Structure 1
Amino acid sequence: MGKNVEQCPLCAFRFFTDYEAPRAQPTHVANADILTPEEDNASRKSVAMLLERKSTVDAAIARAEAQITRMKATSARLEDEIYTLRAAYHPVRSLPDDVLYSIFDWCNPGLAADQTARTHFSSLDPSWTPWRLSTVSRRWRALAQGYPRLWTTVYANVTLRYAAVPRARVIDRLREYLKRSRDASLTVWLAGALNPEDIIPLIRDVACRIRLLETEVASTVLAGLEGASFDRLEHLRVDFERQFEDSANVAPDSDLVIRAFKDAPRLINFEHNDGDCRIPIDIPWTQLENTSLWYCPFPGLTAAPLKNLRVLRIVTELTGTVHWEDPGLRVELPFLDTIHIYLSSFLSIGSIFRHMNAPSLRHLALAAPSDDVPEMDWLAQVPESITDLTVACARMEGMAPEAIMGLLQRARRVQNIYIGLNEDVLDGVLALFRASQPSELLPELRTLRTNAAKKSMHFVQQLVQWKMSGSERLRSVVLHQGGESTEDWNAEQASGQFTASTQELDADLEVRFEENEIIEQPDVFQTRLQRNRYY
């Protein structure tokens, strides 16, 4: 037998690369002949030699596997050392301080570049962001603690279930934020059962630095802010939280909010929730652009200097009317672009339009749960400049179709319309459509939204046929769930049939069905409007 011997360069083990073991003669295997003594002795010696050789090879394999295990462990340790050493010259470590400061800004919602959005890109809890950044490294700790802007978003929230110790910790943390923010402008959220004796002195001391303020506290806290100077305040949101009041049924004084924040000459956005609120004539909010009154029982409007007002939102489901301190007053609002109103009746809405002139109005949304008042002459005061129109009312037994028809005839610039009216009213409007010149109605209409109720669908089908028969611009129809389906009417199925019927017009018209109902309740209306809030 021939063999070629080589030696392992690592362990000096000698192994065979070409080895032929002795084999019994084929004739012995085939014939089962008895081996001669010489052949038997030779075979036994070969077996003993091979067993010895196999044990040597097995021992070498064990040594090799042990060596491989040690080498793998060494490789893992080297990998850890490489990772550690590479971290020393990681690009983040080489970033200059000003770049890290910019990164820190993105962790702070109060410093967002777009103040119309409250969301921010940080995965950190915004109320603990500075503390979290301080735990990364000694350098980050020094930068975070020495960067005032990082400490400018202040949360002070104490729920009723907290004990005195957690409440004290909230105040201590608030003091730390105010101290480290130095002279930077502040974004402050106050909520919960805050002790007026603790919170009022702190807020008064920094009032001149607050840029955005949200409060959901007891009226006693607001009362303690009277006379404070809010020189930088631009965004103000006040919620009346009844659970924090001594008397749950007593709303704050109607002028409490105004008195507390009267000295805020830079105020741009004002939002008030669940409280009686008026804007007195002598208020120095000359820069006010955005006003939202949510669930205020009796919103009051005056001839306050609101010449810069661009957005007005009023949402309430409570009874009562929007009243003016001077019945003969007429307010000029030259820059007003958007009006969103949900009131108890269209009579209340009419009281607003009869007293204002808004020649630049573009976006108008009107909604009321019901109305049994036929006087809709105020619709004639709606300016012709509107491009986006929403009219929603679930039940308007006394509302004349002629009033809606008059509004549609005036709105010649409307491009997007959102209609959610009583079906009988729509039926009357459809009859007036047939008696008029359809081509003269809504000539710029591009998007139509309405519910998919039975009579509404008839209205939509007729309108689409009229608009698509000529060179009109209608491009999209959105149908909403129009109440519960009946045995002979299924809204989604009807929408599919409508889509098929539009294809016969050979027009490039997009038709969509959405399961959400059209605006009927104030909470739905408010949710839609809050998408465009200032934070």
Structure 2
Amino acid sequence: MPAPDLPSYSTLLNTPPASLQQMLSKFKSHRDTLTSKIVALRAELSQATIERDTTDNAILELCSALSPIHRMPHDILYEIFSWMIPDGWGCQPAPWYLGHISHSLRMAALAFPPLWAQVMLRDHHGVRDLSRSRSRLAEHLLRSGNSLLTVNLSWSEKSSPGTGLLLEMIVSHCVRWKKLAFTVNGNAFDFEHRMAAAKGQLPHLHAVHNISGRTIPLKMAELFLVAPKLHHVLLNDQGGSLLFPWKQISRAYFEGEFTCWLRHLPQAHNLQHLVLNLESEAEDPSQRVLLPNLRCLKVSVWGLTYVTAPHLEYLKAAACKLPEALAMLLRSECRLKLLCIRDSRDVGPVDVEDLVSVLRAVPTLASFLFTALPLDDDTDWYDYELNDLFIELAARDAASGQFTLVPHLSTFVFGLHQNPFDDEAFATMAGSRMAAPSPHRLARLVIEDVHDSAPIASALAIEWVDAEYLETVGDEYF
């Protein structure tokens, strides 16, 4: 309906009021009609927009379903993405297959040198086509550009002269090595001879991992002695002849027999993080070592008797070695902040009295993790009697009202595969500590979510965590 015509303003001034009122009514009516039409059109536009977006999404899904990548063989898809998965010290294959998928992926692979910064030599069966292997390795190193390299070398009795030539090619880029992992399972002297060129040529080497294998030749002992950025070593007892600039080492991992390394550790004044995965330990106190700057100590079972660490803040130990842990803590007189006790019922059970003694020795403790081994059908599983532990954790000093055991505890992780609420003392302790004023309040209580909780649990701010996740997450998360 078109709008009514409006006479000129001079005509309106000479028009009788009754006629003007009639004209005004017509225009108001027309405005109402237009307003209704606008509302209807806006609603229609909104609906059309929604339908268009839905249609766009459907088109995207159809196009995605038609994409060739969804029809690729699984082995090709694996090759595309496998190199992106972290694998500790292991090197992932270079993204060779990216160049065979599409032009854009090939350009991406060639334009990003860090994708080629992991180099492996794991030929245990000899080199069948030396020319092809050398060309491939040369192209790999060329594509890595100036990126620092992570190198993984595996040397065996079956390593052929051709493998040795490939090793020499990798060693020729030793100035770019950032991480080096190697294992020698045979023909060690040939390996040592070819690695000799790297001596004194490791300006960017940060970490060395001697995985396993036979004893390292003495002539290779000084290979890592001059490496100004080296600060992280992972070693087994077969590498006991190797020399390192211990004064600059800040992180270390040892496995097997430890005595071959003890004579070096007094030099490691800057060692801050130490992991011991040993087969046994000596009882000789003269073999103890003072580590003045050690902040973190993780011990699988054996090794607590070796260490004195006055500035230790984080300790992880086996439950069967609580007396040794107590002795180490008393000897160190440290202000521990985080304690992780790992259930080791395959070696020995938890002694609650010993555990309470350990907790009493660390009044500065802020985080206590009580974790378990992964569930195993071969493990003789049973629940511990922990009522006395929970009673001690709930006890208060009569005069001050403060908790007598670890009064500053703010995080408690209960990761044993048993229900803590089966003990009434646990619910009492949790409620008491979580209601305490700061700085003595238990702010974080973490429990496996496989347990049925007591009614009081609904009133507590409990963090329920999947048992498998609790086993795999790093302790530092807490």
| TM-score w.r.t. length of structure 1 | 0.55
Q: How does 1:37-76 map to 2 (within 5 A)?
A: none
Residue 475 of structure 1 is aligned with which of 430, 443, 455? 443
- Indicate if the aligned counterparts of 2:368 and 2:411 stay in contact, CA closer than 8 A: yes
Residue 268 of structure 1 is aligned with which of 199, 214, 231? 231
Q: Which residue of 2 aligns with 1:387?
A: 337
Q: Which residue of 2 aligns with 1:287?
A: 248
Q: Which one-letter code corresponds to 1:232 in the other structure? A: H
User: What SS does the aligned partner of 1:315 have?
Assistant: strand
Q: Which one-letter code corresponds to 2:296 in the other structure? A: T
Q: Which residue of 1 aligns with 2:456?
A: 501
Q: Which residue of 2 aligns with 1:156?
A: 121
Residue 318 of structure 2 is aligned with which of 364, 367, 378? 367
Bigger Rg over Cα? 1
Q: Which one-letter code corresponds to 2:453 in the other structure? A: Q
- Indicate if the aligned counterparts of 2:152 and 2:180 stay in contact, CA closer than 8 A: yes
- Indicate if the aligned counterparts of 1:400 and 1:425 stay in contact, CA closer than 8 A: no
Distance 1:405 1:254, change over 3 A: farther
- Indicate if the aligned counterparts of 2:99 and 2:107 stay in contact, CA closer than 8 A: no
Q: Which one-letter code corresponds to 1:228 in the other structure? A: A
- Indicate if the aligned counterparts of 1:158 and 1:170 stay in contact, CA closer than 8 A: no
User: What SS does the aligned partner of 1:198 have?
Assistant: helix
**2:418 is equivalent to residue 448 of structure 1:** no
Superposed CA offset, 1:360-382 (max 9, x none): x33221126x4597894333135
| Alpha-carbon distance in structure 1 between the residues aligned to 2:102 and 2:387 | 67
Q: How does 1:227-376 map to 2 (within 5 A)?
A: 228-229=198-199, 230-240=202-212, 251-253=214-216, 259-272=222-235, 275-278=237-240, 283-293=244-254, 295-298=255-258, 300-301=261-262, 302-316=264-278, 318=279, 320-321=280-281, 327=286, 330-334=289-293, 336-343=294-301, 348-353=302-307, 356-359=308-311, 361-367=312-318, 370=320, 376=326
| Cα drift, residue 239 of structure 1 | 1.7
Q: Which residue of 1 aligns with 2:22?
A: none
- Indicate if the aligned counterparts of 2:177 and 2:205 stay in contact, CA closer than 8 A: yes
User: What SS does the aligned partner of 1:394 have?
Assistant: coil
Identity %: 16
Q: How does 1:406-445 map to 2 (within 5 A)?
A: 406-420=357-371, 426-430=386-390, 432=392, 437=397, 439-445=403-409
Q: Which residue of 1 aligns with 2:468?
A: 516
| Cα drift, residue 392 of structure 1 | 1.6
Distance 1:497 1:283, change over 3 A: closer
Residue 165 of structure 1 is aligned with which of 128, 142, 145? 128
User: What SS does the aligned partner of 2:304 have?
Assistant: helix
Q: Which one-letter code corresponds to 1:223 in the other structure? A: E
| Cα drift, residue 237 of structure 1 | 2.2
| Alpha-carbon distance in structure 2 between the residues aligned to 1:439 and 1:265 | 48
Q: Which residue of 1 aligns with 2:376?
A: none
User: What SS does the aligned partner of 2:267 have?
Assistant: coil
Q: Which one-letter code corresponds to 2:118 in the other structure? A: T
Distance 1:371 1:168, change over 3 A: farther
| Cα drift, residue 296 of structure 1 | 2.5
| Alpha-carbon distance in structure 1 between the residues aligned to 2:353 and 2:133 | 59
User: Which 5+ residue runs of structure 1 have no aligned equivalent?
Assistant: 1-106, 242-250, 482-491, 520-526
| Alpha-carbon distance in structure 2 between the residues aligned to 1:186 and 1:444 | 45
User: What SS does the aligned partner of 2:343 have?
Assistant: strand
- Indicate if the aligned counterparts of 1:159 and 1:192 stay in contact, CA closer than 8 A: yes
| Alpha-carbon distance in structure 2 between the residues aligned to 1:510 and 1:200 | 55
| Alpha-carbon distance in structure 2 between the residues aligned to 1:261 and 1:174 | 24
| Alpha-carbon distance in structure 2 between the residues aligned to 1:393 and 1:256 | 43
Distance 1:342 1:284, change over 3 A: same
| Cα drift, residue 148 of structure 1 | 6.6
User: What SS does the aligned partner of 2:230 have?
Assistant: coil
User: Which 5+ residue runs of structure 2 have no aligned equivalent?
Assistant: 1-79, 373-381
| Cα drift, residue 267 of structure 1 | 0.7
| Alpha-carbon distance in structure 1 between the residues aligned to 2:217 and 2:456 | 55
| TM-score w.r.t. length of structure 2 | 0.61
Distance 1:192 1:529, change over 3 A: farther
Superposed CA offset, 1:454-479 (max 9, x none): 67852633431331353242233223
| Alpha-carbon distance in structure 1 between the residues aligned to 2:277 and 2:220 | 18
Distance 1:168 1:456, change over 3 A: farther
Higher-RCO chain (CA-CA 8 Å, sequence separation at least 6): 1
RMSD (CA atoms)? 4.6
Distance 1:291 1:222, change over 3 A: farther
| Cα drift, residue 127 of structure 1 | 0.8
Superposed CA offset, 1:231-279 (max 9, x none): 32112223226xxxxxxxxx4349798544333232122223x544559
| Cα drift, residue 436 of structure 1 | 6.4
| Alpha-carbon distance in structure 1 between the residues aligned to 2:470 and 2:354 | 21
| Alpha-carbon distance in structure 2 between the residues aligned to 1:313 and 1:374 | 16
| Alpha-carbon distance in structure 2 between the residues aligned to 1:375 and 1:150 | 44
Q: Which one-letter code corresponds to 2:203 in the other structure? A: D
Superposed CA offset, 1:129-177 (max 9, x none): 597299738x959x948x87665432333355xx742676444322333
| Alpha-carbon distance in structure 2 between the residues aligned to 1:202 and 1:314 | 35
